[in-house]
Amino acid sequence: MAESDGHSAVAARTAVPTRDLFINGTWVAPVLNERLPIINPATEESIGAIPAATAEDVDKAVKAARDAFTRNGGKDWARATGAVRAKYLRAIAAKVTERKSQLAQLESMDNGKPIDEAEWDMDDVAGCFEYYAELAEGLDATKYTEIKVPMDTFKSHVTKEPIGVVALITPWNYPMLMAAWKVAPALAAGCCAILKPSELASITCLELGAIAADVGLPPGVLNIVTGLGPTAGAPLAEHPGVDKVAFTGSTATGQRIMMAATKAIKPVSLELGGKSALMVFEDADIDKAVEWAMFGAFWTNGQICSATSRLLVQESIADEFKRKLKAWAEAIVIADPLNRKSRLGPLVSESQHKLKAWAEAIVIDDTLNRKSRLGPLVSESQYEKVLGCIEAGKKDGATLLTGGKRPKHLPKGYFLEPTVFVDIKPHHKVWTDEIFGPVLSVDTFRTEEEAINKANDSIYGLAAAVISKDEARCQRVSEAIQCGIFWINCSQPCFCQAPWGGVKRSGFGRELGPWGLENYLSVKQVTKYISSDPWAWYPAPSKL
């Protein structure tokens, strides 16, 4: 597949490094010496293996983190200044930027994300570490916050301290970025961490260990264990040496982690599933709204918890909207995720530019020389799950507008056409259940009240969006929808400065921004008696 300027449309595949577990600053083979295959979802071929940790390995990692947290009275990390920790975070950010191309290719090969999306993710990883370096420095200025109390014989202040050893369990759809969302604020706060990435996409998370070693991060501050959920994730969540668990993933797994945490009464923060609604009103620019609907449902191959996969369109524009939606969906380029146009200039990290570039790349006329916009699903099991959901949608009586099958030109790999269902009923599983694939369900509404009621009729509450030129309406809808993230005239923008998290069965707690840092800090009250007078709570004995 040669490009007209002589360059290959498919980026050369980088070699997958062979790594062990990263514990106490060194690479350690798992106790049972077992490994799990890494399957490239675009080719269905094994491209390497990750170590399969078990409870014994987890115990080693927790001990290393605990030792690092308490070493030298905590002065080496937990009680070091924020400025000291910030130097390491910035060094990590610089190393991610230096290795951006390689890390993006590894990410794309591991989970099927189109290469340019993976590169944008690496920009955001570096940006996240830079951002929390700034917040770490800010902790020094606010270490002691005075509290006014009603008695002048006392002085009181609050200090914030790292919560301790934290378990960070992350998903496969944004492997390195979701790790950064947790690792960066945890380390900025002074915590020591054990990162457990998804077994379906662990390559770049292990490379984060290599980067930590390269920048000289003190041993034990960051430990990385890979493996299956039952044999590595569960022992980590249940470990008595862990002071907090932060998890991003499915609601079912989040429930199990909550139950495990209750045994030790340890705090948890959970960012779980979603089934977010996008409401389009009749005054919207239809072409722009279709573009956002596509992006909201099919970005990251549809494998994103905040995907606006429930589309609500006002009846008066529904027919035209569905016609254009079908045409756009059928024009999306489905290809090897490493396919790119080598003529493209350097990519940028600002979310607005990302969205514009994504939309402009949707239609490319030359089918043999086209940039991938939709890659494969992450694994065979996820592929079969999504196909099963599509079949359930058909059986329920929803109408398949387009997609729902393997593209004819891709006989191998876990590829699936972007899928759109219409004629939706409230009980249809494609409307109620999180599918985590490129599947969009479309319903209609007549009034604003009906749109709000349909949007809120979900067990989830992660995100939602509205598209309308009426600013007052947008404000009303934003206040009425039960969710943690709301977008107006867009879908999916994410900034590390803004809070991220949901309500209802989408979890609780917030990541990103200063709220993400607060996740890993404990508040301590310190009160001092400053009077020279005795307290005189009880008369002193006559004989002392």
The residues annotated with a catalytic role in the active site are 271
Closest CA to 182 of 522, 496, 506, 502: 496
- Burial code (b: 16+ CB inside 10 Å, e: under 16) for 472-481 equals ebbeebeeeb
DSSP line for 182-236:
HHHHHHHHT-EEEEE--TTS-HHHHHHHHHHHHTTPPTTSEEE--S-IIIIIHHH
Amino acid letter at 87?
K
> 248 near 271, Cβ under 8 Å?
yes
- Burial code (b: 16+ CB inside 10 Å, e: under 16) for 349-385 equals eeeeebbeebbebbebeeeeebbbbbbbbbbeebbee
Amino acid letter at 273?
G
Instruction: Measure the CA–CA gap between 168 and 496, rounded to whole angstroms.
Output: 18
Question: Length of the chain, please?
Answer: 544
* C-alpha distances out from residue 392 to 301, 421, 423, Å: 20, 11, 14
Tokens 């030790």 map to which residue? 264
3-state SS, one letter per residue, for 444-474: EECCHHHHHHHHHCCCEECEEEEECCCHHHH
> 243 near 522, Cβ under 8 Å?
no
Record the tokens describing residue 539, joined without a space: 């008369």
- Burial code (b: 16+ CB inside 10 Å, e: under 16) for 59-74 equals ebbbbbbbebbbbeeb
Judging by DSSP bridges, how do beta strands 463-467 and 277-280 pair with one another?
A: parallel
Closest CA to 300 of 429, 165, 107, 448: 107
